[in-house]
């Protein structure tokens, strides 16, 4: 009981403190099909002539950054490509990127890709701002608190919303502990939304990244303590867009309208949880990524409905609001909330995602609990504050879900 009281008191203070945090929405410097080609000229006009392009090896092999690289060469913008990044970026990846930035005398950063390059790029920017602190020392709340180098975010998935967030999730290579740097200083000032960059995403990645965006919106909205009308509205707009367009993007990856709608959904959801925070879906999902290498979007997709079910009546009213946005009917809030959760499960089935994770080991329960609890409590204003037994119950559900 004392721990629950402490969490709620902390969150009440944090709610007040959020009024002075300076949250903002990144400027969309350009958007629409083919808009990435305009970025180099925009960067040059900001007085930056040499950038570190942070991306990942898979995208490089597929040629996804080629259009941007050609445009940089045409514009005379010097660049260095850094792509040595793991799916769950580590502090070692950040340090390697930092060396590349310094050795090549870069003046700014372009983060190009999904959550992994985005988070790694933010980590590099944080280290440049705080050269005397290691990544683990920067993890936590407000550990950077200093202006970063010029930073442009270019998402190539419609999921993480990292272009709008104050968080960079980095795994400590030596311990496999996955934790976030959380600071408004690392929120990108500029973003580019070009749906053509997401056309090559396989259906599985389309599904998991889209469900990741959905998780951001749902967790932010059901938390609601820190939210203003801006976050509530963006969360609902994101849920509506995902409800209407995710499956279309999954079925036809060349549907540019669906791709564009999903990019905006991820953008809105990312902005919503930047202030509203995520919750136990992310806290547990991060541990599964660190311990077992589970991709972030997949973890979010699988865990989300299980957590909402376990919250029970505490989320009926808020999930009912989201059901209303999606046109789901019911005789009361409980029934509408249950229909919304059924839709979450149905989306997993239709896109071929698993019901649970049988890779979770019972001997890891305590480690998972400790890491997830440390991440979430007292910061995340979750609808129900969980204790050890609640985390164990979720892990049991995930291990045995069919």
Q: Residue 180 pLDDT > 80, yes or no?
A: yes
Q: Residue 22 pLDDT > 80, yes or no?
A: no
Average pLDDT over residues 177-187: 90
User: For residue 178, what pLDDT is reported?
Assistant: 84
Evaluate whether residue 17 is within a structural domain: no
Looking at the structure, do residues 286 and 341 belong to the same domain, yes or no? Answer: yes
User: For residue 4, what pLDDT is reported?
Assistant: 93
Q: Residue 257 pLDDT > 90, yes or no?
A: yes
Looking at the structure, do residues 240 and 337 belong to the same domain, yes or no? Answer: yes
User: For residue 176, what pLDDT is reported?
Assistant: 87
User: 206 φ, ψ to 5°?
Assistant: -55, -45
Looking at the structure, do residues 288 and 178 belong to the same domain, yes or no? Answer: no
* 282 within 8 A of 379, measured Cβ to Cβ: no
Q: Residue 88 pLDDT > 90, yes or no?
A: no
Q: Residue 203 pLDDT > 90, yes or no?
A: yes
Evaluate whether residue 335 is within a structural domain: yes
CATH code for the domain in which residue 339 is found: 1.20.1090.10
* 196 within 8 A of 68, measured Cβ to Cβ: no
User: For residue 76, what pLDDT is reported?
Assistant: 97
Looking at the structure, do residues 142 and 234 belong to the same domain, yes or no? Answer: no
Evaluate whether residue 4 is within a structural domain: no
Domain boundary among 178, 198, 218: 198
Neighbours of 1 (CB within 10 A): 6
* 169 within 8 A of 123, measured Cβ to Cβ: no
Average pLDDT over residues 186-197: 94
Neighbours of 358 (CB within 10 A): 12
User: For residue 87, what pLDDT is reported?
Assistant: 87
Q: Which of 302, 336, 309, 297 is nearest to 320 (CA)?
A: 336
Average pLDDT, the chain: 95
Average pLDDT over residues 38-45: 97
Domain that holds residue 35: 23-198
Q: Residue 21 pLDDT > 90, yes or no?
A: no
Looking at the structure, do residues 259 and 303 belong to the same domain, yes or no? Answer: yes
- In the chain, the number of structural domains is 2
Evaluate whether residue 395 is within a structural domain: yes
- Give 327-373 pLDDT, tens digit per residue: 999 999 999 999 999 999 999 999 999 999 999 999 999 999 999 99
User: For residue 15, what pLDDT is reported?
Assistant: 93
CATH code for the domain in which residue 87 is found: 3.40.50.1970
Looking at the structure, do residues 269 and 304 belong to the same domain, yes or no? Answer: yes
* 153 within 8 A of 98, measured Cβ to Cβ: no
For residue 79, the cross-strand partners are 51
Looking at the structure, do residues 152 and 32 belong to the same domain, yes or no? Answer: yes
For residue 170, the cross-strand partners are 179
- Give 277-320 pLDDT, tens digit per residue: 999 999 999 999 989 999 999 999 999 999 999 999 999 999 99
Residue 24's contacts (CB-CB under 8 Å, 6 or more residues apart) are 184, 187
- Please give the Cα distance from 202 to 198 (Å, whole number): 9
Domain boundary among 169, 198, 227: 198
Average pLDDT over residues 237-251: 98
* 82 within 8 A of 96, measured Cβ to Cβ: yes
Q: Residue 158 pLDDT > 80, yes or no?
A: yes
Q: Residue 160 pLDDT > 90, yes or no?
A: no
Strand ranges for 159-297 from DSSP E: 167-172, 177-182, 190-193
Neighbours of 7 (CB within 10 A): 18
Domain boundary among 177, 198, 219: 198
Q: Residue 402 pLDDT > 80, yes or no?
A: no
User: For residue 378, what pLDDT is reported?
Assistant: 95
pTM above 0.75, yes or no: yes
**Helix spans in 293-364 (H):** 296-311, 316-325, 333-350
Q: Residue 1 pLDDT > 80, yes or no?
A: no
Q: Residue 247 pLDDT > 90, yes or no?
A: yes
Name the packing angle between helices 256-276 and 203-223 (round to 10°).
Answer: 30
User: For residue 24, what pLDDT is reported?
Assistant: 84
User: In the β-sheet with 78-82, what is the strand arrangement from edge to edge?
Assistant: 27-31, 190-193, 151-155, 108-113, 50-54, 78-82
* Residue % of the chain over a pLDDT of 90: 88
């Amino acid at each position: 009981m004392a721990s629950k009281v402490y969490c709620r008191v902390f969150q009440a203070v944090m709610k007040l403190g959020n009024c002075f945090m300076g949250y903002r929405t990144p400027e969309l410097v350009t958007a629409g099909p083919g808009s990435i080609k305009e970025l180099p000229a925009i960067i040059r006009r900001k007085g930056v002539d040499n950038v570190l392009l942070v991306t990942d090896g898979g995208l490089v092999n597929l040629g996804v950054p080629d259009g941007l690289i050609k445009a940089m060469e045409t514009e005379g913008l010097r660049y260095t490509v850094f792509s040595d990044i793991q799916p769950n970026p580590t502090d070692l990846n950040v340090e390697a990127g930092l060396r590349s930035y310094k050795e090549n005398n870069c003046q700014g950063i372009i983060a190009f890709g999904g959550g992994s390059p985005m988070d790694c790029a933010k980590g590099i920017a944080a280290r440049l701002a705080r050269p005397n602190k290691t990544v683990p020392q920067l993890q936590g709340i407000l550990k950077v608190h200093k202006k970063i180098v010029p930073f442009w975010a270019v998402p190539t998935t419609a999921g993480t919303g990292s272009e709008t967030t104050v968080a960079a999730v980095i795994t400590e290579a030596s311990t496999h502990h996955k934790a976030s740097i959380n600071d408004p200083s690392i929120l990108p000032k500029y973003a580019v939304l070009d749906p053509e960059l997401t056309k090559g995403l396989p259906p599985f990645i389309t599904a998991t990244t889209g469900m990741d965006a959905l998780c951001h919106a749902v967790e932010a909205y059901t938390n609601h303590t820190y939210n203003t009308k801006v976050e509530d509205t963006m969360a609902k707009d994101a849920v509506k867009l995902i409800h209407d367009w995710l499956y279309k993007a999954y079925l036809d990856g060349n549907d540019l309208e669906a791709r564009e709608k999903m990019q905006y959904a991820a953008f809105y959801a990312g902005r919503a949880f930047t202030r509203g925070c995520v919750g136990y879906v992310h806290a547990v999902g991060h541990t599964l990524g660190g311990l077992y290498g589970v991709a972030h979007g997949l973890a979010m997709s699988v865990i989300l409905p299980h957590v909402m079910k376990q919250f029970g009546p505490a989320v009926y009213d808020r999930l009912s609001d989201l059901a209303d946005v999606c046109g789901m009917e019911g005789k009361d809030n409980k029934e509408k909330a249950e229909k919304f959760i059924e839709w979450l499960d149905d989306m997993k089935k239709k896109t071929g995602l698993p019901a649970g994770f049988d890779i979770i080991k019972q001997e890891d329960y305590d480690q998972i609990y400790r890491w997830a609890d440390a991440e979430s409590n007292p910061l995340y204003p979750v609808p129900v504050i969980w204790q050890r037994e609640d985390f164990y119950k979720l892990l049991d559900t995930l291990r045995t879900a069919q």
